[in-house]
Structure 1
Amino acid sequence: MSLRPWREIARPHQDVLEGSFKQSEFASDITQVATGTAPSEYQDPVEFFSRTYITEGMRLLLVSVAQRLAGEGGDPVVQLQTAFGGGKTHTMLAVYHLAQGRVPPSKLEGVPAVLDEAGIAELPASNIAVIDGIKLAPSQSRQYDGLTVNTLWGELAYQLLGQDGYAMVAESDATGTSPGKEVLANLIRRAAPCVILIDELVAFIRQLELDKHYAAGTFDSNLSFVQGLTEAMKSVPNAILLASLPESELEVGGTLGQSALNSLEKYFARVESVWKPVGAEEAFEIVRRRLFETAGDPGKVQGIARQFSDYYRANADKFPVETQSNEYYERICSSYPIHPEIFDRLYEDWSTLDKFQRTRGVLQYMAIVIHRLWNSDNSDALIMPGSLPLEDTNVRNKSIHYLPQGWEPVIEKEVDGPRSVPQDIDGHHTLFGSVQAARRTMRTIFLGSAPSSAAQSVRGLQAERVLLGAVQPEQTIGVFEDVLKRLRDRLHYLYSEADRFWLDTKPNLRREMESRKQNISDSEQLLPLLKERVTRVFGRAHSFSGIHVFTRSADVPDDYGVGPRLVVLEPDHSYSRTDADRAAPAAEQVLKYRGEQPRQKQNRLIFLAPDFDVVSRMKEQGRSYLAWRSIVNDIEDGTLNQDLSHLNQAKRNVESAESSLNQVIREAYKWLLAPIEEFVKGAPTLKWEAVAVSPTAPNLVQAIEEKLREEEWVIYQWSPIHLRNVLNRWYLKDGVSEVSALRVWQDCCHYLYLPRLLNDQVYRQAIAEGVESGDYFGFAAAKEGGDYLGFILGDGMVSAIDEQSLLVELDIARSIQAERASVPAAGPDESGQPYTGSGSSSTPIDVADGPNTTRSGDSGPRPTPSAPVDKRFYGTVELNPVRASMDFSTIVNEVIEQFTARTDTRVTISVEINAESRGGFDESLKRAVRENCATLRFGASEFEEE
Structure 2
Amino acid sequence: MVWSPFEEIAGGKIVEALYAADLWAVYTGRAAERYADPNKFFERTYFTSSLKSLLSALARRLSGDPNVNPITLILTGLGGGKTHSLIAAYHLTKNGSVLSSSVAASLEREGIRVPADVRPVVVVFDGAQIDPKFIMERYGSGALWSYIFGRLYEETGDGEFRRALETYVDVYPGAEKIYELFERLEAAGRPLVLLIDETLNFLKNLDRDQREKTRLFIQGLTKALTQLRRSYMAMTLLDAEEAREIAEGLRAVVQRISRNESMITPRELPAVIRRALLREVSNAREEAKRLYDKYEENRQSLGERWTLETLMDYYPIHPTTIALFSKLAENGVIQATRDVLRILAWTLHVLYQQGRTTAFILPGDIPIEREEIRHAVFKDAQLRLAIEQDLRDVEALEKLLGVNSDCSKLVKRIYRSVALATVAYGYISERDVAAYVYSPDLSVSPLVLPSCIKEHMTGYVTHLHVFTREGMPHYAVKSKAFWRSILRRRVEELRQEGIEEKVLEVIKRRVDRYAKRLRTVYVWETPKDEPGLVLVFAGIKRDDSADDPTNIISKREDGGPRIYQGAVVVAKPDEKAAEQAIRLALELMAIKEIQDKYKEYGLDEQDLPEIKKYEEQINEQLDKTVAKDLYTTLVYAKGEGVYTSMAIPLDLSQENIEEKIKETLKNDGKLAEKIAPKLLRQVVESLYNNRGSWPTYRELVEYFGGKLTDVPILINPKRDLAASIREGNFVVIRGGVALREYTTIEDDDQIALPEAAPPPPTPETSPANTAAPSPIVAIQVSKSAYVKLKTLRELVEKLPQYNKVKVIVKHTAEKDAVEDASALFKTLADKLRDLIKETRIIVEVTTEGGARIAKVELESSTNKTIDAVREIASSTVDKFSRMAKIILNYTIVFEGDGRKIAETLNTPFTLERFKKVAFDATLEEVV
Q: TM-score, normalised by structure 2?
A: 0.66
Aligned partner of 2:111 in structure 1 is: 115
Deviation for aligned residue 1:244: 1.5
User: Which has the higher relative contact order, 1 or 2, with Cα contacts under 8 A spaced 6 or more apart?
Assistant: 2
Matched, 1:29 2:19: no
Which residue of structure 1 aligns with residue 327 of structure 2?
348
CA distance in 1, matches of 2:654, 2:311: 52
Match of 1:326 in 2: 308
Matches within 5 A, 1:361-760: 361-371=339-349, 374=352, 381-385=359-363, 387=365, 395-403=370-378, 404-405=380-381, 414-415=390-391, 420-422=395-397, 424-425=399-400, 429-432=402-405, 438=408, 440-446=410-416, 448-449=418-419, 452=422, 458-460=426-428, 462=430, 465=433, 468-469=436-437, 471-473=439-441, 475-477=443-445, 484=453, 485-497=455-467, 499-504=473-478, 506-508=480-482, 510=485, 512-514=489-491, 516-518=493-495, 520-522=497-499, 524-535=501-512, 538=514, 544-545=518-519, 547-551=521-525, 553=527, 566-572=535-541, 582-588=548-554, 592=556, 606-612=569-575, 615-635=578-598, 638-644=599-605, 647=608, 650-651=611-612, 654=615, 657-658=618-619, 661-662=622-623, 665=626, 669-676=630-637, 678=639, 685=640, 687-694=642-649, 705-706=659-660, 708-712=662-666, 724-730=678-684, 734=688, 748-749=704-705, 751=707, 754-756=711-713
2:820 is matched with which residue?
A: none
Q: Distance in 1 between matches of 2:15 and 2:398?
A: 31
* CA shift digits 1:598-623 (9 cap, x unpaired): 99998775322223455445434432
CA deviation profile, 1:172-218 (whole Å, cap 9, x unmatched): 8533312123333444555566543221111111111235xxxxxx2
Matches within 5 A, 1:240-259: 240-249=232-241, 252=242, 257-259=243-245
The total of aligned residue pairs comes to 738
Unaligned runs of 5+ in 1: 1-7, 212-217, 679-684, 772-776, 791-800, 817-837, 842-946
1:39 is displaced (CA, Å) by 3.7
Distance (whole Å) between structure 2 residues aligned to residue 672 and residue 14 of structure 1: 66
Q: Secondary structure, in 3 states, of the residue corresponding to 1:431?
A: coil
Residues 811/587 of structure 1: CA separation in 2 closer, same or farther (3 Å cut): closer
Range moving further from structure 2, 175-184 or 195-204:
175-184
Output one character per residue of 1:266-301: Cα deviation in whole Å (capped at 9) or x when no partner.
323444544234233322221221112212x3xx33
The one-letter code matched in structure 1 to 2:178 is L
1:80 aligned counterpart, secondary structure:
strand
Q: 2: CA distance between counterparts of 1:313 and 1:570?
A: 52
Whether the aligned pair in 2 keeps the contact of 1:693 and 1:704 (CA below 8 Å) is: no
- Give 3-state SS (helix, strand or coil) of 1:79's partner: strand
Please give the alpha-carbon distance, in whole angstroms, between the structure 2 residues aligned to 1:573 and 1:22: 57
Closer/same/farther in 2, CA of residues 566 and 186 from structure 1, 3 Å limit: farther
TM superposition shift of 1:465 = 1.9
Change (3 A) 1:328 1:670: farther
Give 1:584 shift: 2.6
1:502-549 deviation digits (Å, cap 9, x = unpaired)? 44555445365156414654355212211133345x387x6x326543
Distance (Å, rounded) in 1 between the aligned partners of 2:704 and 2:10: 87
**Offset of residue 421 of structure 1:** 0.8
- Which blocks of at least 5 consecutive residues in structure 2 are unaligned? 766-927
In 2, the alpha carbon distance for the partners of 1:457 and 1:737 equals: 93
Contact preservation (8 Å) 1:349, 1:448: no
Superposition deviation, residue 128 in structure 1: 3.8
> Is the 2:225–2:231 Cα contact (8 Å) retained in structure 1?
yes
**SS at 1:136 equivalent:** coil
Structure 1 residue 359 displacement after superposition: 1.3
Matched AA of 1:13: F
The answer on 1:9 being equivalent to 2:5 is no
Which residue does 1:155 correspond to in 2?
Answer: 147
1:33-48 map, 5 Å: 33-48=26-41
Counterparts in 2 of 1:22 and 1:400: CA distance versus 1, 3 Å: closer
Alpha-carbon distance between aligned partners in 2 of 1:225 and 1:584, rounded to the nearest angstrom: 101
Q: Which amino acid aligns with 1:49?
A: F
8 Å CA contact 1:708–1:714 kept in 2: the answer is no
Separation of aligned partners in 2, 1:489 and 1:85: 38
Distance 1:389 1:245, change over 3 A: closer
| Aligned partner of 1:181 among 162, 165, 175 | 175
Q: 1:121 to 1:208 in 2, by over 3 A?
A: closer
User: In structure 2, the residue corresponding to 1:175 is in which secondary structure?
Assistant: coil
| TM-score, reference length from structure 1 | 0.64
The DSSP-based 3-state class of the residue aligned with 1:449 is helix
Q: Does the C-alpha gap of structure 1 residues 236 and 612 become closer, same or farther in structure 2, counting only changes over 3 Å? A: same
What is the aligned-residue RMSD (CA, Å)? 5.2
SS in 2 for 1:712: helix
- The letter of the residue matching 1:706 is K
Q: CA–CA distance in 1 between the matches of 2:744 and 2:185? A: 131
Structure-2 separation of matches of 1:172 and 1:37? 30
Question: Identity, % of aligned pairs?
Answer: 19
Q: CA deviation at 1:449?
A: 0.5
- Which residue number corresponds to residue 197 of structure 1? 195
Letter in 1 for 2:308: N
Residue 738 of structure 1: CA displacement?
11
Residue aligning to 1:208:
206
Letter in 2 for 1:306: K
Specify whether residues 111 and 597 from structure 1 end up closer, same or farther in structure 2 by C-alpha distance, changes over 3 A only. closer
Tell me the secondary structure at the aligned position of residue 292 of structure 2: helix
One-letter identity of the residue aligned with 1:532 = R
The 1-side partners of 2:173 and 2:688 are apart by 140
Asked if residue 88 in structure 1 is aligned to residue 82 in structure 2, the reply is yes
CA contact (8 A) 2:11 2:349 kept: yes
What is the rounded CA distance, in whole Å, between the counterparts of 2:262 and 2:421 in structure 1? 26
Deviations 1:457-489 (A, max 9, x none): 953563652574265436233676665433445
Q: 1:712 to 1:236 in 2, by over 3 A?
A: farther
In structure 2, the CA distance between the partners of 1:802 and 1:574, relative to structure 1 (3 Å rule), is farther
In the TM superposition, what is the alpha-carbon distance from 1:442 to its structure 2 partner? 1.6
